[in-house]
Structure 1
Amino acid sequence: MSNEVSATDYRDSDQYQAFDVAVADHVAEVTLIGPNKGNAMGPDFWSELVPLFNGIDSDPDVRSVVVTGSGKHFSFGLDLPAMSGDFGPVLGPDAKAGPRTDFHNMIKRMQTGINAVADCRKPVVAAISGWCIGGGVDLITAADIRVASADAKFSVREVRVAIVADMGSLARLPRIIGDGHMRELALTGKDIDAARAEKIGLVNDVYDDQDAVLAAARQIAAEIAANPPLVVQGVMDVLDHSRSAAVDDSLRYVAAWNAAFLPSNDLTEAITSVFEKRPPQFKGE
């Protein structure tokens, strides 16, 4: 991971490559800005997310948070080309204990980013437009409230690129949409639209367009910010109490599973097909 960000002044957007940050009227607004197409999540995203949300969590002036994406899309998810260097060593023919341990540690570090959002004591409202894929779904499942525009599309797509989703979707989605819907999304990697997402409870409401959904998210965040902050944090603590142990256990298990079993010819094929811009040909190897 690169470009570690100082947490001394998290409001200074100049120190981020993957985010813009603004705070007004007790609401922090976090906007994904890339730097690559579709706000894809590369090394900058993963290194900056923890200090950013740790700063928000410790800021007494902030009482709620809005997370959204710049441009037409929320996020295309994990930036495979940008992250391929981190996958490389464990995909080699001699990937034994050392590279696998490093890979396991990398997964754990990346998980701390999404966990920082989930563990933030300030309620997080996600405003989703356009594509929300893979890691984007991990991020919104760590939010407390999700709203979408009519053009939003969602996909737990990791299975289609030979990866077991390991940033939290498999742990958090069952409590949001139920086990059956979660298994359908995770096992097929299918895309669903905003109407289906609302029907299964992935999002609370659907709005006409990007401007409308962002306005709605800001309104929800403002309503939260108007309530007694210590009571809001108390509600968060009670709601999160029973969830935390199960999520933590799931994250530990999937990190260990992926370090042991994720390296495969199919994963190499998935990464290669992205670079070659062609459909992958998986062989179960």
Structure 2
Amino acid sequence: MTAAYQSLRIEQADGIAELVLTGPGKGNALGPDFWREMPEALRALDADDSVRVILLRGDGANFTYGLDLMAMTESLGPLILGEGNLALERTKLLQLIEKMQAATEGLARCRKPVLAAVYGWCIGGGMDLIAACDFRYCSREAKFSLREVRVGITADLGALQRLPRIIGEGHTRELAYTGGDVDAERALRMGLVNQVFATPEELLAEARATARKIADNPPLVVQGAKQVMEYCAGKSVADGLRYVAVWNSAFLQSHDFAEAFAAFAERRPPRFQGR
């Protein structure tokens, strides 16, 4: 199944949905179409019970060059450079930023696990996107840059809030203050990515294999693990243990739980249905 959008493409089969950034700006830059379409696409994937895992990647040689400044001039320009630049313009700019935040928030709040596969450049808004994913793989030539500071912007789409949980405060502050570039090996050392692969082709093959492993597991259990981990962030161990105990008390009894035992007894692969 393929859904048609201007800025992205969805390729869906056998429980896996590949969400592909396509531009139309150079390097899959994120323009007005993207900020409008991404939340819509994520809502559709989240509501589709046939989708068990999402693989986020870029089309062509790069993940994304980040915000398409030229394409966004029409909407951003009058609000930043306008002569009035008073309360009305400030309010409209706030509303625009909040609409753009819905794209990254949609990734973070999606019930389905989201794996990012990064090759080539991942700049600015791309960092906000991958920070909202569950985990990240990259290829050896991948480069990462939280570059907003170099164009006079404080990153406002989630990277400053989520990256400290992933790579720590020190690394995040360095990236945010300098706007510098990080190669794949350093990204691995700092914990930004889980694995680095030799080529984009190997990256995609391994990312798809991991997505397959996730999709073959009981989907409601995988979603439960994600929700429990999200709830526990910033809370005490005791609070988290109580939450997961209540969660399993409510959802442990299932068709998939019985299927796991039956498959073990019959020495066959389980066939989980999300029931």
TM-score, length basis structure 1: 0.80
The whole-number CA distance in structure 2 between the counterparts of 1:165 and 1:79 is: 14
The whole-number CA distance in structure 2 between the counterparts of 1:48 and 1:102 is: 20
**Deviations 1:222-277, CA, capped at 9 Å, x for gaps:** 111111111111101111114499xxxxxxxxxxxxxxxxxxxxxxxxxxxxxxxx
User: Larger Cα Rg: Structure 1 or Structure 2?
Assistant: 2
Does residue 1:211 correspond to 2:201, yes or no?
A: yes
Does residue 1:74 correspond to 2:63, yes or no?
A: yes
The amino acid across from 2:192 in the alignment is: L
By relative contact order (CA 8 Å, sep 6+), the higher-ranking structure is 1
**TM-fit CA distance, 1:36:** 1.1
Structure 1 counterpart of 2:49, from 41, 54, 60 = 60
**TM-fit CA distance, 1:69:** 0.5
Does residue 1:143 correspond to 2:133, yes or no?
A: yes
The whole-number CA distance in structure 2 between the counterparts of 1:129 and 1:143 is: 16
The whole-number CA distance in structure 1 between the counterparts of 2:77 and 2:33 is: 18
| Aligned residue number for residue 29 of structure 1 | 18
Structure 2 stretches of 5 or more lacking a match? 236-275
The whole-number CA distance in structure 1 between the counterparts of 2:102 and 2:18 is: 20
Calculate the aligned-residue CA RMSD, in Å: 1.3
**TM-fit CA distance, 1:149:** 0.4
**TM-fit CA distance, 1:217:** 1.0
**TM-fit CA distance, 1:122:** 0.6
The whole-number CA distance in structure 2 between the counterparts of 1:131 and 1:88 is: 26
Does residue 1:44 correspond to 2:33, yes or no?
A: yes
The whole-number CA distance in structure 2 between the counterparts of 1:223 and 1:143 is: 17
TM-score, length basis structure 2: 0.83
Q: Are residues 243 and 79 of structure 1, via their aligned partners in 2, closer, same or farther at CA, if it must alter by over 3 Å? A: farther
Structure 2 counterpart of 1:101, from 79, 83, 91 = 91
Deviant stretches of 4+, over 2 Å? 11-14, 242-245
Secondary structure of 1:80's counterpart equals coil
| Aligned residue number for residue 202 of structure 1 | 192
Percent identity among equivalent residues? Answer: 51
Structure 1 stretches of 5 or more lacking a match? 1-10, 246-285
| Aligned residue number for residue 167 of structure 1 | 157
Larger mean CA deviation between 88-97 and 138-147 belongs to: 88-97
Alignment of 1:258-277 (within 5 A): none
